[in-house]
Amino acid sequence: MDWVIQQAEASGRPSVINMSLGGPPNLAQDRMANRVVRSGVHCAVAAGNDSEDASNHSPARAKDVITVGATTIEDKLAEFSNFGPPVKILAPGLDIISAGIASTTATRPMSGTSMATPHVAGLIAYLLCLQGKRTPAEILTELQSKGVKDAVSGVPDDTVNLLLNNGL
């Protein structure tokens, strides 16, 4: 993560990282993820795939990152998606076409919050290309204002019901 911060600072350009990873609570991971965001790097993080509160997972529970839950094609919260107060936005995460290993052009469907998170990182990158350098807080506010409210079924009361949208 220090390398990410150094590279972002050296380039002087807006930067975004996708963190399709996670694990048990880890204060050091949470602090590092928050430090990355406070340095100005936009950080999209997978909520996790245990169908439980993301408050029990790092770095998903880090307060400054954009934690992403997963939805189905029917706009339902994916049964595996973690949820809870850390989740800041929801994005498609079921049967997402990804790279396969059978050949250089192989694809395969994959599911998880690790598939939802790149949607958010990609939209952040797109917005930064259009608008130039913006703070992570400004981009989060924009994502939240463009998101479709109450579009996802099966979302617990303590979880944001906001489906990622580019505003077009």
Neighbouring CB atoms inside 10 A of 42's CB total: 27
Residue 111 pLDDT more than 90? yes
Compute the distance between CA of residue 168 and CA of residue 156 in angstroms, rounded to an integer: 28
Q: What is the pLDDT of residue 16?
A: 97
Average pLDDT of span 108-134: 97
Q: How many CA atoms lie within 13 A of 52 on its CB side?
A: 7
Give tens-digit pLDDT for 57-92. 999 999 999 999 999 999 999 999 999 999 999 999
Q: Which fold has domain 2-163?
A: Rossmann fold (3.40.50)
Mean pLDDT score across all residues of the chain: 97
Residues in the chain, overall count: 168
Residue 167's pLDDT band (cuts 50, 70, 90): confident
Give tens-digit pLDDT for 20-61. 999 999 999 999 999 999 999 999 999 999 999 999 999 999
Q: What is the pLDDT of residue 1?
A: 87
Full DSSP string of 3-60: HHHHHHHHH-S--EEEE---BS--HHHHHHHHHHHHTT-EEEEE--SSSSBGGGSBTT
